[in-house]
Amino acid sequence: MVGLYLDPPARAIVVCVDEKAQIQALSRTAPNLPLRPGSPERRSHDYARHGTTTLFAALEVATGKVVDQCFQQHRHTEFLAFLKLVAKTYPRRQLHLVVDNYGTHSHATVRAWLAKHPRVHLHFTPTSASWMNLVEVFFAIITRQAIRRGSFPSVADLVAAIRRFCDAWNQRCQPFLWVKDADDIMVRATRKRTSGTEQ
């Protein structure tokens, strides 16, 4: 997988795919108080819940461009629909998709579709190594900049905000760059896990 990032196959597209599930449409009971000199932005602690959505995203490693789609749920049905969207976005090219080990990614229906579309290849991150999937960086950014601080009176408003953020992202996107070499990454990815050990 590290090789896909550092030395992708010629003329192939490498994308990192995952879903950010159960994003809540929360509306604050009072408007946020803006930043002022000497005072941080403030907001009320209480809110109303209006439902959830799941964001599926595919981040193209070479450019940072994101393909996105929101669904009510995150079953294998939605994952397969999103795979078809990604395949349609990059026609007639070999596609290498980095995904985690979530059960929907290896469902029998998904495997059957992949067998009929040999240009699409799934590469699974090692267990407990979701940090190796670059789309997680994008999820952290959209959460911090568009979701966490927002107030959404409906799921439709939340989905519209996600859509606006992704459109703006794609107009100014740049690829994420690894700061460690492949040997350092492989040491961390393959080290033995011990309960209670943090690094």
User: What confidence score (pLDDT) does residue 142 get?
Assistant: 96
Cα separation of 139 and 55, whole Å? Answer: 9
Which residue's structure tokens are 């989905």? 159
Q: Which amino acid is at 6?
A: L
Q: What is the pTM of this model?
A: 0.82
- Whether 123 is covered by a domain: the verdict is yes
Total of domains in the chain: 1
Residue 158: which residues within 8 A CB-CB, separation 6 or more?
A: 23, 24, 25, 50, 53, 147, 150, 152
- Whether 149 is covered by a domain: the verdict is yes
Domain that holds residue 71: 2-28+46-186
Q: Are 94 and 13 contacting, i.e. CB atoms less than 8 angstroms apart?
A: yes
Q: Is the dihedral of CA 167, 98, 96, 178 positive or negative?
A: positive
Q: Could you tell me which of 92, 98, 106 has the C-alpha nearest to residue 60?
A: 98
User: What confidence score (pLDDT) does residue 59 get?
Assistant: 96
The gap between the terminal CA atoms of the chain, to the nearest Å, is 21
Cα separation of 177 and 74, whole Å? Answer: 29
User: What confidence score (pLDDT) does residue 130 get?
Assistant: 77
- For the chain, 199 residues long, give each residue's pLDDT as a single digit of tens: 667 777 788 889 999 999 999 999 888 766 665 667 877 765 666 677 788 999 999 999 999 999 999 999 889 999 999 999 999 999 989 999 999 988 888 899 999 999 999 999 999 988 877 778 899 999 999 999 999 878 889 999 999 999 999 999 999 999 987 776 667 766 766 666 555 555 4
- Whether 40 is covered by a domain: the verdict is no
Which CATH number goes with the domain that contains 76?
3.30.420.10
